Structure 1
Amino acid sequence: MKSVIKGAGYILVHTPDMVLHNGTTQTTERIVNPNSEYLKELPKHIRSFEQALSYWPNQVYIGNKTPGELAAVEQPWCDKTCDVNDRYGKFGQIMPQEEFLLLMQSCDVFDLVKLDRDFVAAYKGALAANPLIDEAIMARINDGVDGAAVARLVEEDHSEGLYDHDKLVGCVNRAHDIDVNLSAHVILENLVSKASSVLALLSVVKSAGIDKTEVEYVIDCAEEACGDMNQRGGGNFAKSAAEIAGLSRATGSDVRGFCAAPSHAMIEAAALVASGAYKTVVVTAGGCTAKLGMNGKDHVKKGLPIMEDMVGGFAVVVTQNDGVNPEINLELLGRHTVGTGSAPQAVISSLVTDPLDRAGLKITDIDKYSPEMQNPDITKPAGAGDVPLANYKMIAALAVKRGEIEKADLMKFPVEHGLTGWAPTQGHIPSGVPYIGFAREDLLAGKISRVMIIGKGSLFLGRMTNLFDGVSFVIQKNSGEEAARGGVSEGQVKSLIAKAMKEFAATLLSQAD
């Protein structure tokens, strides 16, 4: 039995003050060179919420524009205004910083988040008006504390400040006096990840049209680590986010694999459903404050706005085959194994051509590939180039080598089988999964038949191994087999049983005669 994708949710949170105060490029600079020209110039390059709303890649991310429409817009995009600037899209929403700080407090179950009472009074109504936020979440937000008390906690008690328009409006307290894993800095990072995951979960419940009680298992695949000095990264983001989102019948666990984690999680979700262990599994991930403004120095140097001002999140619903929704084909899995090595050709071969060869398919039999979907508007000025395009060129080169396309068609491949990147540089967020929502729609509409999601990761960042990582999986249009097998109504079942019982009784009578 193949699992299917019933829906996908994508959310962004505009966090300009977190760029200044929580992004590691900025926090490191503040330690190493506190009087740097970069820190002085940076505030002039911060975007307003309205500017973030009208940014083309952001509107694509929440589903108001398509990757195809984005590809038709000349790069760079940061100097252009999208004709749609709605904060709500078919996949999710773009939340302003003020609402998000309140959502963070609702996700805090240990009374560690303190917000200025004037700030709470000013923005509580805005969060309550959000169609995804229910009374249970609002009930978790208190009236706030005196602003002077917040300032004292930051100045004297190692609390991490929360800012809005560069004004201190709250703080996150440390959860332990000496445990660095429970420091105010780490708690803030974890609450941001949790709160953005909650928003993604609420979004996918709506977009998939499911009831919260249907969700039986949640897998979190973000990049943060939740634990204390005795079990760093022990978890569990999945269950903690499910609690706030109201998924009362769900349990769950975390999957960690750097940028490859979402693909690992999707495969595990599909396998859990296909095995019958759970009927409905949701893969989710919140965003990462550390990567805010990560390439800020290069952007400021070139006179560009800070485009890494968005915390990202996503969620995908995986359910039992309904005969309609696109299937996850677990027989077409790509694996970067321990013995694969890190040579680019070896990596792409293990993730792309190896699974296709096992199925007797060509590279061109995949309609669309979704590898690392980073926004080139962000990466090109930083010297990293167009990451998705680089991946497509490698896949195309393999296709030429295998005789599946002509060398003259090399540059056509990215257009025909690729996508223009639109995801924020939030590490795991761009890794293949931003396309799942669009892929599901295109598969349902019959525009395409197969897509391959490719997740790649850099395990060497953890200083435990020099190994690279990666997995891939294929989503395909539904074969309809389950519909044929499962398309019998309850009334028909009762009728068949009654008929069988009648025939069985007649047989017994004839034997008695």
Structure 2
Amino acid sequence: GQTCDVFEVYFLEKGFVEATREKFGKNPIITEEIKARVLDGIELSEIENFVNNEKAEGLYHDGKLVGCVKRAHDIDVNLSAEVMHENIMNKATGVLSILYGVKNAGIDKDDVEYVIDCSEEACGDMNQRGGGNFAKAAAEIAGLNKATGSDARGFCAGPSHAMIEAASLVKAGAFKCVAVIGGGCTAKLGMNGKNHVEKNMPALEDCLGGFCVIVSENDGVSPEINLDILGRHTVGTGSAPQNVIGSLVADPLERNGMKITDIDKYSPEMQNPDITKPAGAGDVPLANYKMIAALAVKKGDLEKKDLANFAKDHGLTGFAPTQGHIPSGVPYVGFARLDILSGKIKNAMIIGKGSLFLGRMTNLFDGVSFVIQKNTGKGTSEGSVSEDEVKKLIASSLKEFAKTLLGEE
């Protein structure tokens, strides 16, 4: 957290820093620049004063006060200690995700040209509460010196919107390599924990989620995002479950001459049922698969006798932290890539759904979906003409045309 503080609001107790600095530095993705951002720490009495008298938000480890986040403005609620803590945690988990994403993709940090943050937080001040920009703020700490970026928002559907935007930017040639990131949300940690504690269970969800997906130019091998198969919940779709699933799953497939069963794996909201069931929300992924299967039967794509096996054959077990945008379809992207490359599956549909009514601006539901598929080789076919070759052909044609005008032929 402190490594992501650039306005001196994040303080740690010196003993805590001494006890954890070495372990923190041993992580191979933590660079020397990031290590240098960890300060020596201050006295516990100073931290207690900030918390008790200056409205700072306390940071606790094993029940002990080990640090605090101060407010960044005396009267602006958008820069209060609570909001600053929430935003710094979102930024920090976003940075961590970038570092792992770049490492796992085997690319250089300078390869990333654009970053899209699709979390559910907002940073700004009293005059522009959601001005941003988490994407560029995280890119700075992560060392993406050649990148710029912006924030995309859509509640839980945000990641799917951002993935489609990233793929479109790359396919259009605007940027060659885009990182889609989403940091964790501290506010959501308590949502399920309250129900767990009431049932004499431990608060099961004790971690912040985060993800990063690197979307780059077609290399002829890696799985590709098919921008021809896009599902979208439109303004006129309505909120009935059948209409929602129809717009996100059946409609885009029908437009492309495909059946629901032509998709090998579906990844909707991938919340961990071990966390959601005791909290009263049930098995969210399974509920989605039942709706998709029922629609497949209605469309004639699936035999009624195969209804019970649909979730096993085309579904996944929920495994992601239940923090809104974090489990919304994208947790399977990395595994889908591996499964497609290994030949286990040929394609997967990622489904993002969002509850826009929570913002009190509309009662509408939201959602988009896209398909990741085995590389078709179209992106790098030998018969294609490169941009440089096109420029040479145009230059040659203009030269011949000029000669004609001058009467040289």
Which residue of structure 2 lines up, in the alignment, with residue 319 of structure 1? 216
Which residue of structure 2 lines up, in the alignment, with residue 457 of structure 1? 354
Aligned: 1:195 with 2:65: no
Aligned: 1:300 with 2:175: no
Selected match of 1:224 from 112, 121, 125: 121
| Structure 1 position 211, deviation (Å) | 0.2
Q: Is the 8 A contact 2:177 2:215 kept in 1?
A: yes
Q: Number of residues paired by the alignment? A: 392
Which residue of structure 2 lines up, in the alignment, with residue 434 of structure 1? 331
| Structure 1 position 450, deviation (Å) | 1.2
Q: 1:416-442 CA distances to partner (integer Å, 9 max, x unpaired)?
A: 000010011111000000000100001
Aligned: 1:338 with 2:235: yes
Tell me the amino acid that sits aligned with residue 351 of structure 1.
L
Counterpart Cα distance in 1 of 2:193 and 2:72: 31
| Structure 1 position 486, deviation (Å) | 8.0
Aligned: 1:370 with 2:267: yes
Which residue of structure 1 lines up, in the alignment, with residue 77 of structure 2? 180
SS of 1:454's equivalent?
strand
Counterpart Cα distance in 1 of 2:110 and 2:86: 29
Which residue of structure 2 lines up, in the alignment, with residue 388 of structure 1? 285
Tell me the amino acid that sits aligned with residue 372 of structure 1.
E
Counterpart Cα distance in 1 of 2:293 and 2:265: 12
Matches within 5 A, 1:9-20: none
Q: 1:443-479 CA distances to partner (integer Å, 9 max, x unpaired)?
A: 1111111100000000000011100000000000000
Q: 1:145-203 CA distances to partner (integer Å, 9 max, x unpaired)?
A: 11100100100001111111111111101010000000000000000000000000000
Selected match of 2:105 from 195, 208, 218: 208
Counterpart Cα distance in 1 of 2:172 and 2:70: 43
Higher mean C-alpha displacement, 175-184 vs 298-307? 298-307
Which residue of structure 1 lines up, in the alignment, with residue 50 of structure 2? 153
SS of 2:210's equivalent?
strand
Which residue of structure 2 lines up, in the alignment, with residue 348 of structure 1? 245
Counterpart Cα distance in 2 of 1:468 and 1:485: 44
Matches within 5 A, 1:281-292: 281-292=178-189
Q: Is the 8 A contact 1:321 1:327 kept in 2?
A: yes
Which residue of structure 1 lines up, in the alignment, with residue 305 of structure 2? 408
Counterpart Cα distance in 1 of 2:39 and 2:32: 13
Aligned: 1:120 with 2:17: yes
Q: Is the 8 A contact 1:196 1:287 kept in 2?
A: yes
Q: Is the 8 A contact 1:324 1:483 kept in 2?
A: no
Counterpart Cα distance in 2 of 1:435 and 1:461: 26
Tell me the amino acid that sits aligned with residue 344 of structure 1.
P
Which residue of structure 2 lines up, in the alignment, with residue 277 of structure 1? 174
SS of 1:162's equivalent?
strand
Tell me the amino acid that sits aligned with residue 452 of structure 1.
M
Counterpart Cα distance in 1 of 2:263 and 2:208: 31
Which residue of structure 1 lines up, in the alignment, with residue 152 of structure 2? 255
Which residue of structure 2 lines up, in the alignment, with residue 479 of structure 1? 376
Tell me the amino acid that sits aligned with residue 364 of structure 2.
L
Q: 1:70-111 CA distances to partner (integer Å, 9 max, x unpaired)?
A: xxxxxxxxxxxxxxxxxxxxxxxxxxxxxxxxxx11100011
Which residue of structure 2 lines up, in the alignment, with residue 167 of structure 1? 64
Q: Is the 8 A contact 2:194 2:203 kept in 1?
A: no
Tell me the amino acid that sits aligned with residue 297 of structure 1.
K
Tell me the amino acid that sits aligned with residue 302 of structure 1.
K
Counterpart Cα distance in 2 of 1:180 and 1:195: 21
Counterpart Cα distance in 2 of 1:211 and 1:428: 27
SS of 1:429's equivalent?
coil
Which residue of structure 2 lines up, in the alignment, with residue 233 of structure 1? 130
Which residue of structure 2 lines up, in the alignment, with residue 143 of structure 1? 40
Counterpart Cα distance in 2 of 1:151 and 1:353: 57
Percent identity at matched positions? 69
Counterpart Cα distance in 1 of 2:114 and 2:15: 39
Counterpart Cα distance in 2 of 1:117 and 1:186: 24
SS of 1:198's equivalent?
helix
Which residue of structure 2 lines up, in the alignment, with residue 60 of structure 1? none
Tell me the amino acid that sits aligned with residue 118 of structure 1.
G
Aligned: 1:399 with 2:296: yes
Length-normalised TM-score, structure 2: 0.93
Q: Is the 8 A contact 2:351 2:369 kept in 1?
A: yes
Higher mean C-alpha displacement, 207-216 vs 299-308? 299-308
Counterpart Cα distance in 1 of 2:93 and 2:322: 15
Which residue of structure 2 lines up, in the alignment, with residue 264 of structure 1? 161
Higher mean C-alpha displacement, 441-450 vs 456-465? 441-450
| Structure 1 position 206, deviation (Å) | 0.6
Aligned: 1:358 with 2:358: no
Which residue of structure 2 lines up, in the alignment, with residue 86 of structure 1? none
SS of 2:300's equivalent?
coil
Aligned: 1:310 with 2:207: yes
Counterpart Cα distance in 1 of 2:14 and 2:178: 38
Counterpart Cα distance in 1 of 2:302 and 2:37: 58
Q: Structure 2: where are the runs of 5+ without partners?
A: 401-407
Tell me the amino acid that sits aligned with residue 402 of structure 1.
K
Counterpart Cα distance in 2 of 1:212 and 1:297: 40
| Structure 1 position 487, deviation (Å) | 9.7
Counterpart Cα distance in 2 of 1:316 and 1:226: 22
SS of 1:292's equivalent?
helix
Q: Is the 8 A contact 1:293 1:307 kept in 2?
A: no
Q: Which aligned segments of 4 or more residues in structure 1 are displaced greater than 6 angstroms?
A: 486-489
Length-normalised TM-score, structure 1: 0.74
Matches within 5 A, 1:24-103: none
Selected match of 1:468 from 365, 371, 379: 365
